[in-house]
């Protein structure tokens, strides 16, 4: 499709075209929430958005592999592929909360390269691609996403997470409590919304457990472009889940060490 800038612009247009689908169902009394085989929730909006994005990718990038939350994997290429999370935050979406978003990522030769996240309920889009600085676009125009501030200790850190209950039965449960107690401020800003605020500089780290590749590929691309790291709880670069730390590299290492050694 030409340059990476053109590719990212095309992705953004496709995702913005999905906004009306999402908003038509958002806060609708007719919205039905079903349960998938893993007991996670799904709605008609999830399925309709992923189906639309898959059709668009099949036309524009024929033969390329896609990994999506609702319809799984198509194609055999495991080094270069697209990821789709049509409604990241279906639980929040189904209850009328604005923290959900539409996420598209692209892995190229085994490395997350492109990330686009749209927040229809708040009218904001963030994106990045090789050669394109990470940006936020909204009603007030377009601005560049800042690099993280320097944090020397957990006592200075503002930390978001996707909910304490995800950590309770994990090997990191005690470490999670220690991180939460030691930091300056902790809040459960879940779904992709917490990462928006971290990328704006409002939080220093986001911790998640139970996340999948379609949740993380766009964030990995955004992290690298803004001087941040996306690691697992051992401190290793990772974008496949199920555990993740999103922070500046020194803070990610500090949090990982605290999680492991509590």
Residue 64 in this model has a pLDDT that exceeds 80: yes
Q: How far is CA 133 from CA 4, 5, 113, 162, 201, in A?
A: 11, 10, 12, 27, 16
In this structure, are residues 70 and 86 in contact, taking their beta carbons and an 8 Å threshold?
Answer: yes
Residue 241 pLDDT greater than 70, yes or no: yes
Q: What is the pLDDT of residues 210-221, one digit of tens each?
A: 999 999 999 999
- 111-119 sheet: strands from edge to edge: 72-74, 65-68, 81-88, 101-108, 111-119, 124-129, 132-138, 141-144
pLDDT score of 1: 62
Per-domain boundaries in the chain: 4-144, 154-261
- Region 94-112 average pLDDT: 97
The region of weakest confidence among 36-45, 106-115, 193-202, 215-224 is 36-45
What are the tens digits of pLDDT across the range 182-240? 999 999 998 999 999 999 999 999 999 999 999 999 999 999 999 999 999 999 999 99
Residue 132 — φ and ψ, nearest 5°? -120, 120
pLDDT in tens, 71-86: 999 999 999 999 999 9
pLDDT at 190: 85
CATH architecture of 4-144: 2-Layer Sandwich (3.30)
Respond yes or no on whether the N-terminal peptide bond of residue 214 is cis (omega within 30° of 0). no
Of 3.40.190.80, 3.90.1170.50, 2.40.50.140, 3.30.70.141, the CATH number of 154-261 is 3.40.190.80
pLDDT, mean of residues 141-160: 97
Going by C-alpha positions, the residue among 23, 20, 84, 78 that lies closest to residue 56 is 84
Bridge-based pairing state of the strands 101-108 and 111-119: antiparallel
Equal fold, 4-144 vs 154-261: no
Say if residue 262's pLDDT is above 80.
no
């Amino acid at each position: 499709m030409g340059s990476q800038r053109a590719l990212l612009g095309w992705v953004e247009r496709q995702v913005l075209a999905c906004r009306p689908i999402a908003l038509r169902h958002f806060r609708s009394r007719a919205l039905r929430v079903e349960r998938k085989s893993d007991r996670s929730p799904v709605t008609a909006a999830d399925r309709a958005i992923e189906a639309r994005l898959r059709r668009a990718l099949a036309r524009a990038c024929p033969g390329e592999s896609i990994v999506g939350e609702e319809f799984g994997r198509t194609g055999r290429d495991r080094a270069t592929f697209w990821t789709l999370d049509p409604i990241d935050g279906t639980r929040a979406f189904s209850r009328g909360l604005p923290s959900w978003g539409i996420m598209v990522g692209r892995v190229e030769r085994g490395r997350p390269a492109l990330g686009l996240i749209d927040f229809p309920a708040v009218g904001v889009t963030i994106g990045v691609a090789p050669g394109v600085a990470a940006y936020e676009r909204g009603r007030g125009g377009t601005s560049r996403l800042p690099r993280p501030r320097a944090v020397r200790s957990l006592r200075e850190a503002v930390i978001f997470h996707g909910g304490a209950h995800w950590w309770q039965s994990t090997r990191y449960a005690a470490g999670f409590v220690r991180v939460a107690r030691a930091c300056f401020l902790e809040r459960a800003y879940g779904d992709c919304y917490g990462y928006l605020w971290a990328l704006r500089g409002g939080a220093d780290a986001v911790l998640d457990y139970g996340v999948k590749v379609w949740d993380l590929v766009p964030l990995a691309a955004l992290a690298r472009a803004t001087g941040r790291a996306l690691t697992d709880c051992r401190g290793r670069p990772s974008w496949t889940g199920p555990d993740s730390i999103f922070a500046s590299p020194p803070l990610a290492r500090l949090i990982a060490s605290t999680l492991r050694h509590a």
